[in-house]
Amino acid sequence: MKLAPADPLSRVPARARAHRFPSFRFLEVLSFVHSAVYAGVLYFFLGPENATATRVLGWAHGLLWIGMSLLCIVAARRRTIPFWLAVVVAVIGGLGPFAGTLGFLWEERRRRRADTVKSS
């Protein structure tokens, strides 16, 4: 008796997953960019006061958060990323996008371990 795979992503061939937009790698890179922009907001808000830089980076953070949230919802529906990761990015990402970046790193590590186990 063959059991169904526990991970719904494993039912989709890797080649088919790689060509979907938004891809996992694209979202991961965008998450790192979002975290860097947010770090800039914190730097200019808490350190040397620069109202223009704070405003520009603040707007960039807000727009990136909205864009990341929408893209992660689409990616979760297409099973490109797990639902929990989309929730972390969309809910927690507005206050601290670092959580989403850590989530992407965690998921990437989990996928690598799963691929290693499959190939063994």
pLDDT the model gives residue 67: 95
| Residues 27-31: contacts with CB under 8 Å, at least 24 apart | 27/68, 27/71, 27/72, 27/75, 27/80, 27/81, 27/104, 28/104, 28/105, 28/108, 30/64, 30/67, 30/68, 30/71, 31/68, 31/89, 31/97, 31/100, 31/101, 31/104
pLDDT of residue 21: 85
* pLDDT level of residue 61 (50, 70, 90 thresholds): very high
| Amino acid 2: pLDDT | 52
pLDDT at 15: 59
For CA atoms 11, 17, 22, 26, give the dihedral sign: positive
pLDDT digits (tens, 9 = 90+) for 26-58: 999 999 999 999 999 999 999 998 999 999 999
Q: Are 88 and 100 in contact, with CB atoms under 8 Å apart?
A: yes
pLDDT tens digits along 67-115: 999 999 999 999 999 999 999 999 998 888 999 999 999 999 999 998 8
